[in-house]
Amino acid sequence: MATLILVRHGQSTWNAANRFSGWVDVPLSHVGRQEAMQAAEKISFYRIDVCFTSLLVRAIETTAICLTEGSGASRRKSPVFKHDSDDPNWHGWDQYEGYIEEEIPIFMSPALDERYYGRLQGFNKAEMAEKFGQDIVHQWRRSFDVRPPGGESLKDTAARTIPFFQNRILKHLTNGDNVLVSAHGNSLRSILMYLDNLSPEEVPSLELATGIPIVYEIDAEANIIDKVILD
C-alpha cells in the first residue's frame, strides 16, 4: 500500500488579484504561504518518499513549505531539489549521490505546469468576461476541449499530465513509495480525471481549493483503496 498526496499550490499573488496566471511565474501571496503552512500541518505525519512539482515558483514554494513545516516536520527527511542533468543551462552543481535514507528527492517537470492561458495571461478574469462575454470566457475556462485564444484546453493539459503521471509517478506508488505532488488547479484536475475515472463532461465542474491536500491510498496493482480530502 502506498500514499499519494495531491495539493494545489497556495494562493498566488495573481490568484488574489483575479488574474489569469497560466505559465506566468508568479509567487505565493501572504495568504498562499499561510495556506501552504496549513497543508504542511495536515500532511505532517505522513511519510513522504518522493515529490513531484512543476517548474513554476508558486508550486515549488508550496512544495518546500509542505516538506519543511508542520509539527511532524522534524521527523522528515531533508528535501533535495533534483535538476535535469540534460539541461545545457544547468551548472551541474547538484552532482551528488546523496544518502537516500536521509533525503526526499523533488523532481520538477513542465508536464505538471499549469494550463497555458495564451493571450489571456495577465488579464483580470472579470474584465475579460465583460469584454468577450460571460459565456465565452466560461467556455474558455471550464470546457474540456475549447482553447482560450492562443492557449491550451484542459484536454491539451491532460495530454501531458496523464502520461507523466503514468510513466513517472505511478511506478513509485506501485513500488510502495509515498508520493507528494504539488502542482496547479488544471494540471491536478486532469490527474484527478484519470484517478477518479471522470468523463470529459464531469471534470470541468471539478473545483480544487488552494492548499487543500487530497490523499489517496493505492495498492501494488494501482487500485485506489481510499480517498480523503483534508479540508
Q: Specify the CATH number for the domain of residue 182.
A: 3.40.50.1240
**Residue 25: its pLDDT value, please?**
98
Counting the structural domains of the chain, the total is: 1
The answer to whether residue 114 is catalytic is yes
Q: Which of 9, 69, 152, 184 is catalytic?
A: 9
Q: What is the pTM of this model?
A: 0.94
Q: Give the model's confidence band at 138: pLDDT under 50 very low, under 70 low, under 90 confident, else very high.
A: very high
* pLDDT tens-place string over residues 71-87: 876 667 889 888 776 66
Q: Alpha-carbon distance 215 to 226, whole Å?
A: 8
Q: Which of 69, 114, 152, 184 is catalytic?
A: 114
Compute the average pLDDT of residues 79-100.
Answer: 69
The answer to whether residue 127 is catalytic is no
Domain housing 193 = 2-229
**Residue 77: its pLDDT value, please?**
82
Q: Alpha-carbon distance 151 to 121, whole Å?
A: 9
